[in-house]
Amino acid sequence: MATAILFSLCLLAALGLFFYQIWGRFNLLRAAQPAARFDRIPERIRAVLVYAFGQKKFVRPEASIVREQTAGWMHFFIFWGFTVLGLQVVTLFARAYSPGFFLPLLSPHLLGGPVLLLEDLLEAAVLVALGVAFTRWLVTRPSRLFGYAPAEDRLRSHSHWEAYLILSCIGIIMCGGLLYNAGRYVGLPGDAEAAAEITWEPVSRLLAAAIGGASPDTALALSALGWWAHNLAVLVLLNFLPVAKHFHVITSLPNVFFKKLEPTGALSKQDLETATRYGTSRIDHFDWKQVLDMFSCTECGRCSSQCPATASGKPLAPRQLMLDLRDYLYAHQAEVIEKRVHARSSGDGAEPAEVGENIVGPVIRDETLWSCNVCRACEEACPVLIEYVDKIVDMRRHLVQEESRFPGELNRVFKNMETQSNPWGIDAEKRFEWADGLDVPTLETNPAPEYLYYVGCAGAFDDRNKKTTQAFARVLKKAGVNFACLAKQELCNGETARRLGNEYLYQTMAQMCVEGLNAAPTRKVLVNCPHCFNTIKNEFPQFGGQYEVIHAAEFVKQLIAAGKLAIDGSFGKKTAYHDSCYYGRFNDVYDEPREVLARSGAGLVEIERHKHFAMCCGAGGGRMWIEEDPDKRVNLLRTEQALAADPEAIAMSCPFCMTMLSDGIKAKDLEEKVQTLDVMEIVDRVTAASKS
């Protein structure tokens, strides 16, 4: 009876404190801006099964590329150990009041035997996983856990005591459960239920053998010690969750459920006509899903470990950005709840007062936001599907559209896009000069094409990338494809402006471009630029532009399969293929370029970081147009990664990647040794005109 009373007091106090803390966090969600995340329920359930319960981001084979498999399997066993051992927690809590309690149908004489076996084995597996975790924290001490310099110097200065506390609590829970089982068996030698349980518990049985020489009273005391240690550790852990990084234990499943279902490469469309603000600048501007992201950060560092800005020494680390936002949110929790929830409930329709200070500058530095390549490598790595890029772009929108505070070189870029419909500022009348002497069909000369070839600004104006455009045009003609170009009537799609935060300029350009495309006689659009591909395919539907967008490698693969393009396979160079972010992570285009290269006779070798884990070339997110310090250039890092494969050629399918990697090869003075070629240039070299 005394045990039941004492445990009841502990339980009531712990649950009271826990629900008090959870209620505060829940009210933060209620106070946040609205977000539409309750659609497409079957897809959301599938995401929970795959990413949360299936632990896909932890145990996928590709994790070997970034050497995360050991840590991934460690987390897998800890997660499933806790999930299954939830049954044990309920059982041991209930045994404060009924020593022989079993959950319905789970006694060892019914279905409980296999469950007890699974629980016992998982306790041992979790202890092994904890050994791996403690080794990482105390011995190997990887930067992914402690923080990357210089962007995460603030994190690096922490003691990380909470990690040790959480791991210790988990260890006590596991050991306490085993000790409870073993001591109960030894202390109750004639008890049929205890004997039936231990029959299914091999690890507990080994521990029972170790203490088998103890008296029944001593064994029962050890069992009671295990019971109290187990239950109190659960209650301590429960109350520590809402105030530490392990809050993700509670929030990660809903965070995965409410994941972004729009195309990965699509940014949100801002309602510029009715908006009262044009970017995110205060902590109460974030919507409830973005707040849930802040709650769910596990501080695992997978995001920062993959970030090209972090790797190149810039002030951005996605983890630190998320923690800075979360810490500021927690510091202003009472203010957020009071000024937002109460204002909304008043029903007077007045705009609620702002909360705190402008976070862009004092909390999140301008330089941090401008360091982002918008490559979503952080999101690809995040096991709980946190969305970083949209927050960064929303804060960039504030800097550009509300503060006019951005790197000086962007003044010229924005003006060039406004006046000449291209970032270079080259006369728009010269957009079709790349086709001089090639007899490329236009809508004037071919008014009924099956395909429209959208070239894009880089392919039309940049001298190096004109060669790629010309190569693809020749390939199309060799295959007898019925296509046409918009020629001088082609307009920039504005992609660069959107990612730099100039949503107003982007929408103006996008609407004009959509009008031009809609006026064309076909909805089949060919592109050889992943930035254009992503924008036309995934973002133009926001403006009424619905097209069948086909990237060049896929189309060439179709032409080869149909016998319309004859490839002699004579290229013969050892070739490393660089995955662009906008084809790869944004649109899952990985295999087609490799298959086309293989058919062309290229001896393919993989860069160590490839496919899902490929590093950005450094041009994404508008950084193509922002000056970089010589010692912080992402393109040099990516070039070094490509050169480590010892290729004769580096192939790619992106004009921006072409510029950045070509510059990297020049900086290494290796132009005579290593070629940088677009996949279509290689195809053009090894194809002959179709006989059909």
Average pLDDT over residues 182-193: 89
Instruction: Looking at the structure, tell me whether residues 375 and 334 fall in a common domain.
Output: yes
Residue written as token pair 């001089």: 436
Print burial letters for 589-599: b (CB count within 10 Å at least 16), e (below 16). bbebbbbbbeb
CA separation for the pair 681, 475 (Å, rounded): 9
Confidence of residue 532 (pLDDT cuts 50, 70, 90): very high
Same domain, 548 and 642: no
CATH number at 575 reads 3.40.50
Same domain membership, residue 296 and residue 199:
no
Range of the domain at 369: 283-403
What are the two backbone dihedrals, phi and then psi, of residue 563, each rounded to the nearest 5 degrees?
75, 15
Residues 485 and 434 in one domain: yes
pLDDT at residue 365, rounded to an integer: 97
The structural domain count of the chain equals 4
Measured N-to-C along each axis, helices 112-135 and 161-187 cross at an angle, to the nearest 10 degrees, of: 140
Asked whether residue 12 is domain-assigned, the answer is: no
Do 219 and 287 lie in a common domain?
A: no
Q: Is the per-residue pLDDT at 64 higher than 80?
A: no
The kind and range of the H/E element at 473 are: helix 463-478
Give the tokens for residue 556. 């060439």
Contacts for 486 with CB less than 8 Å, ≥ 6 apart: 442, 443, 452, 454, 516, 520
Domain membership of residue 93 (yes or no) is yes
Is the same domain home to 168 and 206? Answer: yes
Percentage of the chain beyond pLDDT 90 is 80
Measured in whole angstroms, the distance separating CA 684 from the mean position of its chain's CA atoms is 36
Q: Are residues 381 and 451 in the same domain?
A: no
690 band by pLDDT with thresholds 50, 70 and 90: low
The per-residue pLDDT for range 251-264, each reduced to its tens digit, is 999 999 999 999 99
The pair of three-digit structure tokens given for residue 364, joined into one six-digit string: 């999140």
pLDDT tens, 588-638?
999 999 999 999 999 999 999 999 999 999 999 999 999 988 888 999 999
461-491 CB burial, b ≥16 within 10 A, e <16: bbeebbbbbbbbbbbbbbbebebbbbbeebb
Closest C-alpha among 26, 19, 16, 23 to residue 295: 26
Rg of the chain on CA atoms, in Å: 30
If pLDDT is split at 50, 70 and 90, which confidence band does 692 have?
very low
The phi, psi pair for 532, rounded to 5°, reads: -65, -40
Does 18 fall in a domain?
A: no
Rounded Cα–Cα distance for residues 501 and 401 (Å): 8
Note the pLDDT tens digit of each residue in 549-601: 999 999 999 999 999 999 988 999 999 999 999 999 999 999 999 999 999 99
Which among 373, 366, 368 has a CA at the least distance from the CA of 398? 366
DSSP string, 189-227: TT-HHHHHHHHT-HHHHHHHHHTTTS-HHHHHHHHHHHH
CA distances for 161 relative to 156, 237, 245, 605, 647, angstroms: 12, 14, 12, 44, 46
Identify whether the C-beta of residue 565 lies closer than 8 Å to the C-beta of residue 481: no
Q: Per-residue pLDDT tens for 273-321?
A: 988 899 999 999 999 999 999 999 999 999 999 999 999 999 999 999 9
Show which of 219, 242, 257 is a domain's final residue: 257
| Domain match, 526 and 570 both | no
- Whether residue 230 contacts residue 173, with contact meaning beta carbons closer than 8 Å, is answered with yes
- Model's pTM, two decimal places? 0.92
d(CA 368, CA 289): 22
Average pLDDT value for residue range 544-553: 97
* pLDDT given at position 373: 97
Query: Is residue 262 assigned to a domain?
Result: no
What is the C-alpha separation between 661 and 638, in angstroms, rounded?
A: 8
| Domain end (from 368, 403, 438) | 403
109 exposure class (CB count in 10 Å sphere: 0-12, 13-18, 19+) = exposed
Q: What angle do CA 568, 569, 575 make, to 5 degrees?
A: 155
Distances (CA, A) of 436 to 7, 10, 420, 431: 85, 83, 20, 11
Percent helix, strand and coil across the chain, each to the nearest 5: 60, 5, 35
Is 516 inside any structural domain? yes
Q: Cα separation of 655 and 676, whole Å?
A: 11
State both tokens at 592.
């087609």
Which two tokens mark 23? 């209620």
Closest CA to 641 of 589, 591, 606, 671: 606
124, pLDDT greater than 70: yes
Distance CA 590, CA 557 (A): 13
Q: Buried b vs exposed e over 533-559: b needs ≥16 C-beta within 10 Å? A: bbbbbbbbbebebebebbbbbbbbbeb
Residue 330 lies in a domain: yes
- Please tell me the least confidently modeled range out of 55-59, 64-68, 113-117, 251-255: 64-68
Q: What is the CATH number of the domain that holds 351?
A: 1.10.1060.10
Mean pLDDT value across residues 232-257 = 92
| 369 and 496 assigned to the same domain | no
Same domain, 601 and 649: yes
Residue found under tokens 């490329």? 440
Among residues 539, 559, 579, which one ends one of the domains? 559
Q: What is the mean pLDDT of residues 156-177?
A: 91
Round to the nearest angstrom and report the end-to-end CA distance of the chain: 92
Q: Is residue 412 part of a domain?
A: no
pLDDT in tens, 370-413: 999 999 999 999 999 999 999 999 999 999 999 999 999 999 99
Mean of the per-residue pLDDT values of the chain: 93
Question: Residue 461 domain-assigned?
Answer: yes
Contact 172, 189 (CB under 8 A): no
Residue 611 and residue 479 share a domain: no
Q: Is the same domain home to 236 and 336?
A: no
